Amino acid sequence: MLAVWAEMNVVLADEFRDRNVPAMMDPLNVAKRAFAALPETVKTFYYRGDSACHESRLMNWLRDGGRAEGPQGFIGFAISARMSEALHKAIGKVPEEDWAASGKEHATEIRECAEVSFVPGEKSEHKDTQPLRYIAIRIGQRQENLFDDGSDDGSKVRHFAVVTNIGGGVAGRPADWVAPGEGGDDRRGP
């Protein structure tokens, strides 16, 4: 597992995992070491993670402004959400008019995002914390009749989701940070 400072292209922390240790096994330790490795001059913190980081201990630590073993204050995060059946159904209920263009325009793909009304089934929400936002990302091909991904459902689009504590419009940075094949250019920290 690697934690990289995006702007500097520097590995801040790593953890070699031998054998069958799953990627989502305790990502919090690597995150803590990564934030500790940042120079004191860094005052604004963001965290971007793949779906292996969609883990309650890590997200609760990131949300806690008074966190132990880490920088104090706000850490904005955008983490690829694991696609559960319930989340996929919630994305399917997003009205067509709520989808907005996301990121750079692509020659072959149409990328859109929308806020999703979704409450996860796991007990990661606490009464004193702000609710997390779920942002859906929809990717379709401009020439959909040429789009054959081998799926059995005949889907012409692919859906992904981001869970974030960053406010603002759905066309904002969180969706662009973790959309497949894309990276934001204004990230700070691991």
pLDDT of residue 38: 95
Task: Assess if residue 156 is contained within a domain.
Answer: yes
pLDDT of residue 185: 35
Q: Which residues of the chain have pLDDT under 70?
A: 122-129, 143-155, 169-190
Q: Tokens 């959400």 identify what position? A: 81
Task: Assess if residue 55 is contained within a domain.
Answer: yes
pLDDT of residue 124: 54
pLDDT of residue 150: 55
Its sign, for the CA torsion 133, 158, 105, 4, is positive
Task: Assess if residue 172 is contained within a domain.
Answer: yes
Buried b (16+ CB within 10 A) or exposed e, 99-133: beebbeeeeebbbbbbebebebeeebeeeeeeebb
Task: Assess if residue 100 is contained within a domain.
Answer: yes
Task: Assess if residue 190 is contained within a domain.
Answer: no
Do 91 and 78 contact (CB within 8 A), yes or no?
no
Tokens of 45: 């913190």
Classify residue 132 by its DSSP letter. P
Number of structural domains in the chain: 1
- Domain of 171 in residue numbering reads as 2-178
pLDDT of residue 30: 93
pLDDT of residue 57: 93
Its sign, for the CA torsion 157, 161, 167, 172, is negative
pLDDT digits (tens, 9 = 90+) for 23-58: 788 899 999 999 999 999 999 999 999 999 999 999
pLDDT of residue 18: 78
